[in-house]
Amino acid sequence: MLKRLIDHHFKLTEHQTSVKTEVIAGITTFLTMAYIIFVNPSILSQTGMDYGAVFVATCVAAAVGCLIMGLWANYPIAQAPGMGLNAFFTYGVVLGMGYTWEAALGAVFFSGFIFFLLSVFRIREWIINSIPLSLRLGIAAGIGLFLAMIALKNAGIVVANEATYVSLGDLTEPSALYALLGFFAITAMAYLRVTGAVMIGILGVTALAMVLGHNEFGGLVSMPPSIAPTFMALDLAGAFDVAMLSVIFAFLFVDLFDTSGTLVGVAHKGGLLDKDGKLPRIGRAMMADSGASMAGAVLGTSTTTSYVESTAGIVSGGRTGLTAVVVAALFLISLFFAPLAGSIPSYATAGALLYVAVLMAGSLSHADWDDPTEAAPVLIAALAMPLTFSIAEGIALGFISFAAIKALSGRFKDLNPAVIVLALLFAAKFLFLS
């Protein structure tokens, strides 16, 4: 009876899959993205947020997103707090701009709510089609470079220098050596197609540091920590500040394009697109993503988004939402491994951040480098993010440069109303609100 209900709800027979295949696919996907359980609390706790509460919020927000995606949209696509957005939350909004983490959570909630409305009223396609491909490539690469800068800084590989702004740190320090070792090992394992390479790298470096006396073991399992310090702590009024509009837009913009690209890319890999190359039920998938972001903000974590690591599960045979449901269950089980998460040092996650940066920077290869009016905005958006230490500023400078260069080159046909309006708004912000 139960098997028949599962088959009917997830349409397993129609997708030529089975419960066993979907479970294996879910486990595979989880192993490739479980690093977020360790990385997200490590990053967000630097804002003053309680580490244990963020750990719980991360697991629960991921589970909520996966359940909505699996049970309602019926896609084998997992969700969790997104890399890049968590770094922007910490280093850009809180530590950089000086906002409280409560106000930053409010901005995440508003961005999720706007995303939800865009999905309900089907405006998302118009927005996606209005943004030039070159800007999307530059922004994706910029986020990767931003993560790389954070990873190198956290490991002490790149340090501040009054004369040159930055310089090489002491590579004989344990933190630098462990970070580099982790990065080398993760990259090699990824090339060899080892499932869970990122998580294995993080845990391997942590274990080695413990053996050599550079880290302490905090335990393996326990009851989940309290989520009270972050639950419902978001400051919606604080997010209404005028300067916060660019922050909300940055959260929204990155999540919108990250989710769209991930959904289409992963669905294409699994043969889930229709005969016209479109993704059926994309509205449900988008609403699942935006709903998870709002839930995550209430729980106490940065933007929740769809994970490209879901491809690993699809390659393993996952074709329905049952795969995502399995991932949700594993995130909930992870709640009992808080002591292990607390034992992970920042240099162990630095190597993982650097590897994720490599993947994201790969979008630069798709840019049209033969056309300077396309290439220049790509480079400006990509470089501005790590050099200004802000995803929002990188997005703004990318739009301004694209509009200005195209206009001065007489390439007005490449401009559309959305790009022009956004470029003018960003320029006004720099001129009058900075």
- Domain coordinates of the chain in residue numbers? 2-433
Please report the pLDDT score of residue 418 as a whole number.
84
Q: Would the pLDDT of 253 be above 90?
A: no
Name every residue whose Cβ is closer than 8 Å to that of residue 113 and which is 6 or more positions away in sequence: 290, 294
Q: Would the pLDDT of 130 be above 80?
A: no
Average pLDDT over residues 297-303: 96
Q: Please report which confidence band the pLDDT of residue 434 belongs to, taking 50, 70 and 90 as the band edges.
A: low
Q: Would the pLDDT of 184 be above 90?
A: yes
The torsion defined by the Cα of 414, 415, 418 and 423, in degrees rounded to 10, comes to 130
Please report the pLDDT score of residue 257 as a whole number.
75
Average pLDDT, the chain: 90
Spatial distance between the Cα atoms of 282 and 72, rounded to a whole number of angstroms: 11
Q: How far is CA 53 from CA 198, 259, 272, 342, in A?
A: 23, 26, 37, 11
Please report the pLDDT score of residue 200 as a whole number.
92
SS3 string, 137-203, reads HHHHHHHHHHHHHHHHHHCCCEEEECCCEEEECCCCCHHHHHHHHHHHHHHHHHHCCCCCHHHHHHH
| Inter-residue contact 321 to 19 (CB < 8 Å) | no
Q: Please report which confidence band the pLDDT of residue 156 belongs to, taking 50, 70 and 90 as the band edges.
A: very high
Q: Would the pLDDT of 128 be above 70?
A: no
Helix axes 174-191, 346-361, angle to 10 degrees: 40
Q: How far is CA 235 from CA 56, 105, 376, in A?
A: 20, 7, 38
26-30, 219-223, 239-243: which range is least confident on average? 239-243
Q: Please report which confidence band the pLDDT of residue 125 belongs to, taking 50, 70 and 90 as the band edges.
A: low
Please report the pLDDT score of residue 129 as a whole number.
67
Average pLDDT over residues 107-134: 84
Spatial distance between the Cα atoms of 405 and 196, rounded to a whole number of angstroms: 43
Spatial distance between the Cα atoms of 191 and 183, rounded to a whole number of angstroms: 12
Q: Would the pLDDT of 188 be above 70?
A: yes
Q: Positive or negative, the Cα torsion across 404, 410, 411, 417?
A: positive
Q: Supply the pTM of this predicted model.
A: 0.83
Spatial distance between the Cα atoms of 22 and 194, rounded to a whole number of angstroms: 20
Please report the pLDDT score of residue 320 as a whole number.
93
Average pLDDT over residues 200-223: 92
Q: Please report which confidence band the pLDDT of residue 78 belongs to, taking 50, 70 and 90 as the band edges.
A: very high
Name every residue whose Cβ is closer than 8 Å to that of residue 99 and which is 6 or more positions away in sequence: 93, 107, 238, 241, 244, 247
